[in-house]
Amino acid sequence: MIEFKTIGSASTFLDPRRGFSPTTVDFQVRIDPLTGRTCHFSHFGALKAQKLDLPGYERPEVKGFCPFCADKRDRATPKFMPDIIPEGRQMRGEACLIPNLFPYDIHSGVVVMTDDHVVGLSGLTEGCLADSFSLGIDFLQRINSLDLALPYHLMTWNYMPPSGGGLVHPHQQYFATRYPGNQFMDELSGSERFFTARGQNYWHTLIETEVSGNKRYIGTVGKTHWIAPFVSLGLLGEIMCIFPNVFSIRDFREEHIDDLISGLGRVFRFYEAEGIYSFNASLSFGPKNQEHFNCFLRIVPRTFLNLRDFAPDFNFFQAVLSEPVCIVLPEDLCRDIKPYFV
């Protein structure tokens, strides 16, 4: 089994809202059972996601120059070297694969997902998601076959300005790398340690544990398992989708894309109902020839704290302490999203 450790505590002060009588407020620190990293849970329910003015992003003075818009794309976006993509760019439906003008690594692609500049969650249809993911995954598989020296593969996604995305126009990044980030490497080495110590795959054990505990297990879609992780990287919680039989990019097939977009559609319907307009997401693939580090998708909502001064939802905790803070307990998030997975 997996040990889920919570340190519950409280702070007491004289509350001006109650005539300066003593008030006690609870908070929690949780320890990620895989990495040992901590996460603060506090300020419960104190914030709501802010509504974004989507039509406002179309106004010329706000929109500025967008290289991803269909009428600009041909002249303003780069093309791949012929040995990578002979035709320069690739299309599937409206999805268009181009190199990243600001690459993260040797092979760094962008999938522009739509022709339209502003597309709300309801516009990210199954067809749009299927075209985008399959184009991006094919690119990762191609660079994997061309360059075996880059062991890790990633899809990353900033959706809408609160997420840090520089362009409103929907797009995803796909790249191969030796350096996939500290979180990824901590999770990879934690998975190796778990496998060596127990002779079990951590992610399979996690699925079994969450299914039987039934507090954070959201549901099954095809062969995928959706959970609200014990520790959340986002202020408004985190949702994770685990692929139990996918380890490296070579294992990812069309059926996995089908399950992924079906589950993502449910998450998006939940986000719409909750007034969530923006998110960060990643889909990560471990090295080949191993069966202890599974592929998973992670998605966290993002929001401005307010629309008066556009304070972001990341602060000193994430910026200089590398500590996630969350105001939603995963068990409550799981209860709220579960009806969308029935």
Residues 6+ apart with CB under 8 A from 225: 207, 210, 211, 217, 241, 242, 244
Question: Residue 29 or 69: which CB sits closer to Zn ion?
Answer: 69
Instruction: From 10-18, 161-169, 173-181, 279-287, give the range in contact with Zn ion by CB under 5 A.
Output: 161-169
- Residue 66 CB, shortest distance to Zn ion, in Å, is 3
Residues 189 to 248 in contact with Zn ion, rule: CB under 5 A: none
Question: Residue 112 or 150: which CB sits closer to Zn ion?
Answer: 112
Query: 41, 68, 243, 340: which one contacts Zn ion (CB under 5 A)?
Result: 68
Instruction: From 95-103, 136-144, 167-175, 181-189, give the range in contact with Zn ion by CB under 5 A.
Output: 167-175
Question: Residue 66 or 297: which CB sits closer to Zn ion?
Answer: 66
Residues 247 to 306 in contact with Zn ion, rule: CB under 5 A: none
Question: Residue 170 or 229: which CB sits closer to Zn ion?
Answer: 170
Helices 126-146 and 254-274: angle between axes, nearest 10 degrees: 130
**CA nearest to 117, candidates 158, 65, 168, 64:** 168
Per rule CB under 5 A, count of chain residues that contact Zn ion: 5
The H helix count followed by the E strand count for the chain is 8, 14
The Cα 312–Cα 100 span in angstroms is 26
Question: Residue 41 or 68: which CB sits closer to Zn ion?
Answer: 68
Instruction: From 60-68, 284-292, 311-319, 324-332, give the range in contact with Zn ion by CB under 5 A.
Output: 60-68
76 binds Zn ion (CB under 5 A): no
Query: 39, 52, 66, 260: which one contacts Zn ion (CB under 5 A)?
Result: 66
Question: Residue 169 or 225: which CB sits closer to Zn ion?
Answer: 169
Give the CB-nearest residue to Zn ion.
66
Question: Residue 102 or 316: which CB sits closer to Zn ion?
Answer: 102
Instruction: From 67-75, 92-100, 190-198, 240-248, give the range in contact with Zn ion by CB under 5 A.
Output: 67-75
Q: Which residues of 84-108 are buried (b: 16+ CB within 10 A; e: fewer)?
A: bbeeebbebbbbbbbbbeeebbebb
Confirm if 273 and 180 have CB atoms less than 8 A apart.
Answer: no
Query: 30, 107, 153, 169: which one contacts Zn ion (CB under 5 A)?
Result: 169
Q: Where are the beta strands (DSSP E) in the chain?
A: 5-15, 21-31, 38-41, 90-92, 95-99, 107-112, 152-159, 171-177, 217-221, 224-227, 239-243, 278-285, 295-302, 325-326
Residues 90 to 129 in contact with Zn ion, rule: CB under 5 A: 117
- Residue 69 CB, shortest distance to Zn ion, in Å, is 4
**CA nearest to 127, candidates 256, 261, 297, 264:** 261
Instruction: From 15-23, 32-40, 164-172, 208-216, give the range in contact with Zn ion by CB under 5 A.
Output: 164-172
**What is the DSSP track for 164-214?**
T-S-SS-EEEEEEES---HHHHHHHHHHHHHHHHHSS-HHHHHHHHHHHH-
- Residue 96 CB, shortest distance to Zn ion, in Å, is 12
The Cα 143–Cα 107 span in angstroms is 7
Question: Residue 96 or 295: which CB sits closer to Zn ion?
Answer: 96
Q: How far is CA 327 from the centre of its chain?
A: 18
In terms of residues, how long is the chain? 342
- Residue 1 CB, shortest distance to Zn ion, in Å, is 49
**CA nearest to 298, candidates 342, 243, 220, 335:** 243
- Residue 117 CB, shortest distance to Zn ion, in Å, is 3
Question: Residue 68 or 230: which CB sits closer to Zn ion?
Answer: 68
Structure tokens at 129: 């998601």
- Residue 321 CB, shortest distance to Zn ion, in Å, is 36
The residue ranges that bind Zn ion (CB under 5 A) are 66, 68-69, 117, 169
